[in-house]
Structure 1
Amino acid sequence: MTAADHPRAAQPGGFSTLLDDQLCFALYAASRAVTQRYRPLLEELGLTYPQYLVLLVLWEHDSVPVKDIGVALQLDYGTLTPLIKRLETSGLVRRERSPQDERTVQVSLTEQGEELRVRARTVPQAIGEAMALPPQDFDDVRRILRQLTENVSR
């Protein structure tokens, strides 16, 4: 019996309880595979994947309030603070209270953090090559995943 012949198989446009029919599992497996592919590249830089994401935000914006990093990465303050503290301990970022609002913690790159950006420039290309998607498919997948995130987050 093939998966399509299974009594719980999805009908066209329908849903089932078969693992292969679950979009959530396809997303989970793809996320794990991509994150696993990042690991050796980021280990060379002394970073974890979540630390890399924080640095991507900072490389784009230079100095950012912790709250804005959390919004960009969809991470809560409790998850984000230890990541930033580890980056600070590594000498890549510094945290400072905003002079305008003492409650706001601003995160900025150090010179060492800026230098790491140069070394990290090969990472996106290596990941893109590992994905082996034509440019249009890459753009389509990213667009669909963003739409899916927005829809599910409502």
Structure 2
Amino acid sequence: MEQIDLGEDPLALERQVCFALSVASRNVISLYRPLLAPLDLTHPQYLVMLALWEREPRSVKDLCGVLYADPATLSPLLKRLESIGYVSRRRSAEDERLLTVELTAKGRELRAEAEKIPYRVVELLGMRVSELEELNATLGKVIAATRRALDGQPAKPAG
């Protein structure tokens, strides 16, 4: 096993992945706020809508899985999206335990406006799309690694 070298000061704030992720996340979400406000969406609600624009209807369980959210977090978001007329929720006819979420006509129409948002975010960040794609791929690896660690699975070897 390779020796881990974290340098002279392993606790230096600027070297902490958790710090960089926290600040970057907060700042990027702040860029989205004014872009989402005209759509009457918060960032978490936008993520739900993105999942539904990809595929619908979806069960709450499926949405929880794809968004890495728990039902207690998702439920109020779905209620709010329903109250503003973007989604409808109903019990599955096949299995009463499953709550199905689907877009309303208003929710489907919103997609056309929402499609402008990623372009605006790229403009605001002033980064090349290739850089953002690379970052997204790296963050995907971080997400997978943290999921494995949280599930108690051994880490994959680096390289």
Q: Tell me the TM-score normalised to structure 2 length.
A: 0.86
Identity %: 42
Corresponding residue to 2:42 among 48, 53, 60: 48
In structure 1, the residue matched to 2:154 is none
In structure 1, the residue matched to 2:157 is none
Which consecutive unaligned segments of at least 5 residues does structure 2 have?
A: 1-5, 149-159
Corresponding residue to 2:78 among 68, 75, 84: 84
CA contact (8 A) 2:48 2:63 kept: yes
**How far is the alpha carbon of 1:15 from its aligned partner?**
5.9
Provide the rounded CA distance (Å) in 1 between the counterparts of 2:94 and 2:121.
40
**How far is the alpha carbon of 1:94 from its aligned partner?**
0.3
In structure 1, the residue matched to 2:29 is 35
Offset from partner CA, 1:126-152 (integer Å, 9 cap, x none) = 112222222322221111100011111
What RMSD over aligned residues (CA atoms) do the two structures have, in Å? Answer: 1.2
**How far is the alpha carbon of 1:124 from its aligned partner?**
0.8
CA contact (8 A) 2:87 2:101 kept: yes
Listed as ranges, the matches of 1:1-154 within 5 Å are 10-11=6-7, 16-154=10-148
SS at match of 2:41: coil
Q: Tell me the TM-score normalised to structure 1 length.
A: 0.89
Provide the rounded CA distance (Å) in 2 between the counterparts of 1:67 and 1:153.
18
**How far is the alpha carbon of 1:16 from its aligned partner?**
1.1
